[in-house]
Structure formats: C-alpha cells, structure tokens
Amino acid sequence: MRPEDLLCPTPRGLYCPPADVYIDPMQPVPRALITHGHSDHARAGHDAVLATPETLGIMGVRYGDDFARERQAIGYGEVVMINDVAISFHPAGHVLGSAQILFAWRGFRLVVSGDYKRLPDRTAGRFEPIRCNLFVTEATFGLPVFRHPPTELEIAKLLDSVALFPERAHLVGAYPLGKAQRLMALIRDAGYDKPIHVHGALVRLTDFYQAQGIDLGDVVPVDLDARKTLGGAIVLCPPGALQDVWSRKFPDPVSAFASGWMRIRARAKQKGVELPLVVSDHADWEDLGRTIRETGAEEVGVTHGAEEALVHWCETQGIRARPLRLVGYGDEEAV
Ligand SMILES: [Zn+2]
Ligand SMILES: [Zn+2]
C-alpha cells in the first residue's frame, strides 16, 4: 500500500482512485467532494457533489440551485461508503460548513483538510485533529513570520478607532464568505450593538449565515444615497470596494482590512490600508506544525501557499512531506 494508491494530484485536482472521486477539483468532474464554499475550492458544473449541507447551501447562493446535476449532503461525522472507501466529513473551523475529509481504506487513513484554522470561531465550528497516516494540508501562512495575534485585540483596535473618530465612517474590507460574518460575530461579542452596515455584495451570504441560526445582530445593507450620513458607523465591504468610487461618498472614511496578510506592514501600506486588522481564517505557522503533529501522520502533502517552507519543516521533524503542486488554490482568500 502506497499513499499514491489513495491520492494523486491530477490536472483536474486531487483524485482518489479507489473511490473514483475528486476533492475540490478545478475543472468539472463526474463526482466531486467539496471541503468548503470558497470559490477556489467549490466550483459549479460537476455532475455530482458530496458536501456538508451548509456548503451545498453556500454553493446554491453563489451559483444558483443548478450548480450540479446531483447533490448529496453529508453531516459532520456521518460515513458514506463509496466503493470500499469509508468517507466522512469533520469540522475544519475555516468558514460555515467547512470540512476536512477522512478516507479510510484497507487500514490506511487519509485526511484532506481543505483550508482550516485553530482559533475559535462561532460562525465556523471547531477544528478537530484526526489521526491519520497521510495528512494533506494547506500552507497559506506557512512561514515563521506568520503568527496571528489574539483576534479580540484586533477587534479592540477597530472599536477604539470608532470611539476615537466618531465622525468618520469605518470601512472594513473583508472576504464576503466567512471573514465578513466572523467579523460581525466578533464585533457583537465585543459588546457593539449598533447596526452593522454592509456592502450589497455581502448581503446574501450574510442572510444565509443568519438563516442557519448564527446570530449577527442588526445587519443593514448600505443605502447608496445615505452614505454621507454614516459617520461613526462600521461598514463591511469586499476588499476591492475600498479603492472603488463606492467608498468615496462616506464621510472621511477610515480604511481597514481584515486579513492574515495584514501581518506584513508593507502589504497594508501598498494597499492604502490605514487600519490593518490581522484576522485570518487560516492556521498560522505554529498551528500548522501543531496540527501536523496532532494528526500523527507519517506523511504530509502540501497543497498551496508556502509549500517549500512547510515541507522543509516536516523533514526536520522526521515526517515525510511533498508539495502537491496544485494550481488554482488560494485565489479567493489569499489576496
Ligand atoms: Zn478557503
Ligand atoms: Zn483556499
């Protein structure tokens, strides 16, 4: 039994031969298993899709209900047999519905983790490490410089700025799936109870989160004609909208951006971000290493990000590791 018998990288994406399924494929395939709803992992046009009910719902919101010919929902911890492979989904803590996928076959266990984080997030479920032989991990922040600070401190920076500049609108760039809703939850949990205003591009996914029972308080779509009146307000928008004409009508806007990349000052500066918030939905360097150790894996495959650094770290720990050289991941969230 070699790891390649259970998992091989192909131009269409990661492929599991004994189950004849692809995981987060980049091209249309007969049968896809989807770890989560980000557009670099979940694409429309597959014949059949197996995913958590939340991920299927998110794909429906983004692509319309006909995104796949056939859809099958699988809850966390449920087992589906495909050929003689036992397949189950487990929380990844990344965004609502995100899952690691466990494949058990002839005594060998493979986990494909998709994207994941270890910090608590009440909008995304809690990551659980799964014992396995082969662990497939991302490495978005796979360099020692990336250490995410406690999220509460970053939210405090935002709320302090709102208190300090009550006449300025605070525009916070956040990815529309996951990051935006997590920020809302964090802002609420910090005690902020005024309405949170959102750009139109965030409305449907935020509604979906609320409909799934995630309380985000009073969320109000921005009235384009009333932007001048939003001094002192918190307004969430897609990162691209920060530089857009859309942002210019707000009173003396403070431009904030919530991303793990904000750890790099030069990056914030280059994007013209006045208030960088280091809030990430990916594991940082320390959590990548901790997670790999907790899985007990003898071998690690690295999908995307700083592959070389993480592969090297694994080797120093006596764990076999290889980059899987998948193209097309990391587009949505990693900018
Ligand atoms: Zn993702
Ligand atoms: Zn990703």
What pLDDT score does 19 carry? 98
What pLDDT score does 3 carry? 84
List Cα–Cα distances, 71 to 10, 31, 104, 154, 295, in angstroms.
23, 10, 22, 39, 30
Question: 36 alpha carbon to ligand 1 midpoint, in Å?
Answer: 7
Q: Are 94 and 115 in contact (CB under 8 A)?
A: yes
Question: 47 alpha carbon to ligand 2 midpoint, in Å?
Answer: 22
Least confidently predicted of 62-66, 275-279, 302-306: 302-306
107 DSSP assignment: T
pLDDT class for 277, splitting at 50, 70, 90? very high
pLDDT class for 313, splitting at 50, 70, 90? very high
Question: 57 alpha carbon to ligand 2 midpoint, in Å?
Answer: 18
Question: 237 alpha carbon to ligand 1 midpoint, in Å?
Answer: 18
Arithmetic mean of pLDDT, 215-232: 97
- Is the confidence at residue 1, as pLDDT, over 80? no
The percent of residues in the chain predicted with pLDDT above 70, rounded, is: 98
- Is the confidence at residue 161, as pLDDT, over 90? yes
Which ligand has the shortest distance to the CA of 328? 2
Give the tens place of pLDDT for each residue, 52-90.
999 999 999 999 999 999 999 999 999 999 999 999 999
What pLDDT score does 332 carry? 57
Question: 142 alpha carbon to ligand 1 midpoint, in Å?
Answer: 15
What is the reported pTM? Answer: 0.95
- Is the confidence at residue 271, as pLDDT, over 90? no
What pLDDT score does 331 carry? 59
CA angle (98, 155, 219) in 5-degree steps: 70
pLDDT class for 325, splitting at 50, 70, 90? confident
Question: 2 alpha carbon to ligand 1 midpoint, in Å?
Answer: 29
What pLDDT score does 329 carry? 73
Q: Are 280 and 260 in contact (CB under 8 A)?
A: yes
What's the token pair of residue 180?
A: 């935006």
Residue written as token pair 């958590």: 52
- Is the confidence at residue 334, as pLDDT, over 70? no
What pLDDT score does 326 carry? 75
What pLDDT score does 198 carry? 98
Which ligand has the shortest distance to the CA of 137? 2
CA angle (287, 289, 264) in 5-degree steps: 55
Question: 223 alpha carbon to ligand 2 midpoint, in Å?
Answer: 32
Give the tens place of pLDDT for each residue, 86-105.
999 999 999 999 999 999 99
